[in-house]
Amino acid sequence: MEPEEILPRQSFNSMKIMVDQAPAIPHEDESSLDKNSASAEHEHWMGEAILQARIAAEQGEVPVGAVLIEAGKLIGSGFNQPIMRHDATAHAEIVALRAASASKQNYRLPATILYVTIEPCTMCVGALIHARVDLLVFGAREPRAGAVVSQNKLLDSQHYNHKLSYLEGVLAAQCSALVQAFFKAKRGVNRSTD
Ligand SMILES: [Zn+2]
């Protein structure tokens, strides 16, 4: 990826962010500065989730990655690994939650943000609510099994006793390109062995 315009702002010094990967700022007014600061942080952490997704792909698993962030620090990460773990629940989000819960010694993870490359399924949305995660940020939609905006809109339901907010579309093209490349390569392998 080509390095983009450097952000001349103090707020980035305190964040674990690669300045040369930060996006260009189209506007200079205050509100858009705040917005861009937030979106640069979201892109940074989604970049970490993408690194996890790449590990999944290297292991022959569908490339989905997740990281859990608390107060600007990564407290858990995971990649999709049901095949290698013989575990249908080993989705990236669950793996990241388990890692964070183990390190915090707490099954509840309030005031955290979960970044995942692909829209979560019903199981993972449920787990995020049980864990009391505050905000879900996902990259690309999952039209077949997505439970946030695609097949179901679970987080729009009012009956849960915990409110989980969500934000979608962060680095969506990169996130979905990983999955598409994975399945394309898989189809190519299958064809060559026919
Ligand atoms: Zn899932």
The token pair at 4 is 């983009």
The predicted pLDDT at position 188 comes to: 85
Cα–ligand 1 centroid distance for 68 (angstroms): 15
Q: What is the pLDDT of residues 136-148, one digit of tens each?
A: 999 999 999 999 9
The predicted pLDDT at position 6 comes to: 42
User: Taking a C-beta distance cutoff of 8 angstroms, is the pair 125, 93 a contact?
Assistant: no
Helix, strand or coil, per DSSP, at residue 10: helix
Cα–ligand 1 centroid distance for 28 (angstroms): 39
The predicted pLDDT at position 191 comes to: 66
Average pLDDT of the residues of the chain: 86
The predicted pLDDT at position 33 comes to: 64
Cα–ligand 1 centroid distance for 118 (angstroms): 9
User: Taking a C-beta distance cutoff of 8 angstroms, is the pair 114, 128 a contact?
Assistant: yes
Which backbone phi and psi does 46 adopt, to 5 degrees? -65, -35
Cα–ligand 1 centroid distance for 121 (angstroms): 4
What distances in angstroms separate CA 60 from CA 57, 64, 182, one per listed residue? 5, 11, 9
The predicted pLDDT at position 100 comes to: 98
* Rounded Cα–Cα distance for residues 40 and 35 (Å): 9
Q: What is the pLDDT of residues 6-54, one digit of tens each?
A: 444 433 333 333 444 444 444 445 566 677 888 999 999 999 999 999 9
* Rounded Cα–Cα distance for residues 171 and 7 (Å): 18
Q: Which residues surround ligand 1, an ion (CB under 5 A)?
A: 91, 121, 123-124
The predicted pLDDT at position 97 comes to: 98
Which residues form the catalytic set?
A: 93
The residue-averaged pLDDT of 151-180 equals 95
